[in-house]
Amino acid sequence: MAKRSRVSAPNSAPRLPRLVRAGPPLGGVVGSTLLLAFLCGPQVFVGLVSPTRRLGHVPRWAAAELWQEASQAERGRSELLLSKLEDLEGVGSEQLRQKCLELQEAVRSLLEAEGASQSSFEQLRESNDQLEEALQELQNPGRSSLPSFVPDAALPGDPVRIDVLPPARETDGPALLPGEAHVRVSLPLVDNGEVMWGCDLTPLFEESGDRLMFFTAFLPLGLQLTSAPRPSELPGSAELIRVEAVEPKGEAELLGIRSGDVLRAVSYVGAGPEPGWLDKMLGAEAMPMKQVMKCDGRPLEEVIEALQSNSKNPDGRLVLLLERP
């Protein structure tokens, strides 16, 4: 039997799963704290500024150990970039793909080298930067496949960019299925569009993603959600979160959301990247950060908690991605 729940204002702080994502370079840490902050996590990469000058007071054996750990973190970044390049197979012009393949070989060559030093770390970081820049160009080559648009003029929602990508070889959850249609929806997490979250998923009803709808909204939403079995004609097997009813003159009805729409992703407020151990000793804490949760296969209660957590946003704004049959 399907579970039902109504979205309303929260009574207590939700307990949400921690998500860690790669972030932009961080700055403003003085002295050796900068290098130590670089080592705070496998997907949080912090730029280094004149590390040899900063580490002049550190014993040689300690500096060598720090470079070893820094190199390991940068190697992790290399693996992520190489995996991303495989996912983008067949995308982009021949000239751009050739550039990416050359950078791929350069990165792999540096990964095969033994030992870790300042020189090897800086070479690998430079090659990673070049490969990351090429991948960004590969993903956004200005092609005419699907620019920023409202997927279907007959559907409600705000303008959103949808990119059609090759079928994924691997998946990060039931919302993106290997070998099936693959789109990336660029969700703006703030009004000015400076923070975008790429949400990769397999469309349910149109392979191009034409039935996807993006909304910005505020609590209370005035809708009732239910978890329902996935219809046999749709790809995958995970349960879906559907809109069962909308309240008259409520937020959802005013936006154009209606019964039967499938909730594919929502924004929530969770813990940001953990600070380094030295910063923790100085009293630093993980800052709350707006993130995106894909809803396919999630328990209904978890989705409700994610929606309610948006009440902790200073502007109270939340993001919804739905798909209409």
Q: Per residue in 280-319, pLDDT tens?
A: 777 777 677 888 999 999 999 999 999 999 988 877 789 9
Return the pLDDT at 5.
Answer: 61
Q: Name the residue among 9, 40, 36 with its Cα closest to residue 23.
A: 40
pLDDT band at 134 (very low <50, low <70, confident <90, very high): confident
Strand pairing class (160-165; 148-149): antiparallel
pLDDT band at 37 (very low <50, low <70, confident <90, very high): very low
Residue 265 exposure: Cα atoms within 13 Å on the Cβ side: 29
Return the pLDDT at 8.
Answer: 55
Residue range 39-66, pLDDT digits in tens: 443 333 333 333 433 444 445 555 566 7
**Average pLDDT in the 62-83 region?**
77
**Average pLDDT in the 67-72 region?**
76
* DSSP β-bridge partners for residue 270: 289
**Average pLDDT in the 316-323 region?**
92
Neighbour tally for 40: CB within 10 Å: 19
* Separation of alpha carbons 163 and 38, rounded Å: 32
Return the pLDDT at 130.
Answer: 86
pLDDT more than 70, % of the chain: 70
* Separation of alpha carbons 90 and 101, rounded Å: 12
**CA dist 96 to 102, 138, 218, Å?**
10, 7, 42
Q: Phi and psi (nearest 5°) for 178?
A: -60, 135
Of residues 218 and 25, more confidently modeled:
218
pLDDT more than 90, % of the chain: 30
Residue range 226-240, pLDDT digits in tens: 999 998 888 888 999
Of residues 23 and 268, more confidently modeled:
268
**Average pLDDT in the 86-105 region?**
79
Return the pLDDT at 182.
Answer: 92
173: phi > 0 → left, psi -120 to 50 → alpha, else beta; which? Answer: left
Return the pLDDT at 145.
Answer: 38
15, pLDDT greater than 50: no
Inter-residue contact 305 to 5 (CB < 8 Å): no
Residue range 164-223, pLDDT digits in tens: 888 888 887 899 999 899 999 989 887 655 677 889 999 999 988 999 999 999 999 999
Of residues 70 and 35, more confidently modeled:
70
Computed over every residue of the chain, the mean pLDDT equals 76
pLDDT band at 22 (very low <50, low <70, confident <90, very high): very low
